[in-house]
Amino acid sequence: MAFDYKKEYKEYYQPPKKPALIEIPPMHFLAVRGKGNPNAEDGAYQQALSRLYGVAFTLRMSRKAGKNIEGYFEYVVPPLEGLWQQNGSPDGSFDYSRKDDLSWISMIRLPDFITEADVQWAIAEVQRKKQLDCSGVEFFTYDEGLCVQVMHIGSYDSEPETIAQMTKYLTEQGCIADHSETRMHHEIYLSDPRKAAPEKLKTVIRIPVKRI
């Protein structure tokens, strides 16, 4: 049976519906950086996803393509993730009516055995076979550290209610949010919005924090 990160690391992908503190170790990702409204049809965000998934599935199928990656084992491609910032918001808060002002890093987690050289091979394979420009895809390491996280159930636009609960919890724990250029609002998308009703969407929300 293929290794499934969502099942093997439930503490990262299946948190409770109530906020909790958690220490997240460094992880490697495929990533694409961009700006703008993620809902824009055929916009930069949608194009980034096609590149990410193209490279991610090429890596997963690398053995069938004749690529011998040392330590390779069969695995399920992990879920899509995103790091988000809103321009002009140093405290990391969001105005959900200003989606055009967002900067983002879209990511898919990589197994530890995949190297930057393997990613470059997969990028070249996708460009050669599918004629898809993947020059913006990168090997990205994110050292997240101490965070508060929660499972949000519902539409993306209802996230402010959940974030308010997280902020209240932080105050009770003697912590504050710690957003910066290297520590960002983090979401993990466990549901496909094309198939699930908005009120049933499952999204892991993480906010970087520090103790005071």
Tell me what pLDDT residue 60 has.
97
The domain that holds 16 is classified in CATH as: 3.20.80.10
What is the residue whose two structure tokens read 């949010």? 177
Residue 172 has what pLDDT? 97
15: pLDDT confidence band, cut at 50, 70 and 90? very high
Total count of residues recorded for the chain? 212
Q: Which domain holds residue 78?
A: 5-211
Does the pLDDT at position 93 exceed 70? no
**Mean pLDDT of the region 161-187:** 95
CA 60, 186, 14, 196 dihedral sign is: negative
Percentage above 90 pLDDT, the chain: 84
What tokens does 154 get?
A: 């519902």
H/E segment holding residue 49: helix 44-60
The reported pTM is 0.95
Provide mean pLDDT across the span 59-65: 94
pLDDT (tens digit per residue) in 111-166: 999 999 999 999 999 999 989 899 899 999 999 999 999 999 999 989 999 999 99
Query: Is residue 95's pLDDT more than 90?
Result: no
Q: Give every CB contact of residue 7 below 8 A, 6+ residues apart in sequence.
A: none
198 phi and psi angles, rounded to 5 deg: -55, -40
Structural domains of the chain, count: 1
Question: CA of 104: how far to CAs of 74, 87, 118, 159, 186, in Å?
Answer: 29, 10, 24, 17, 10
Q: In the block, which residue shows the tokens 């910032």?
A: 85
Confidence category of residue 42, pLDDT binned at 50, 70, 90: confident
Task: Kindly give the interhelix angle for 44-60 and 116-130, rounded to the nearest 10 degrees.
Answer: 110
Mean pLDDT score of the chain, rounded to an integer?
94
Average pLDDT over residues 61-71: 93
pLDDT at 96 over 70: no
Q: 7-21, 22-36, 92-106: which has the minimum mean pLDDT?
A: 92-106
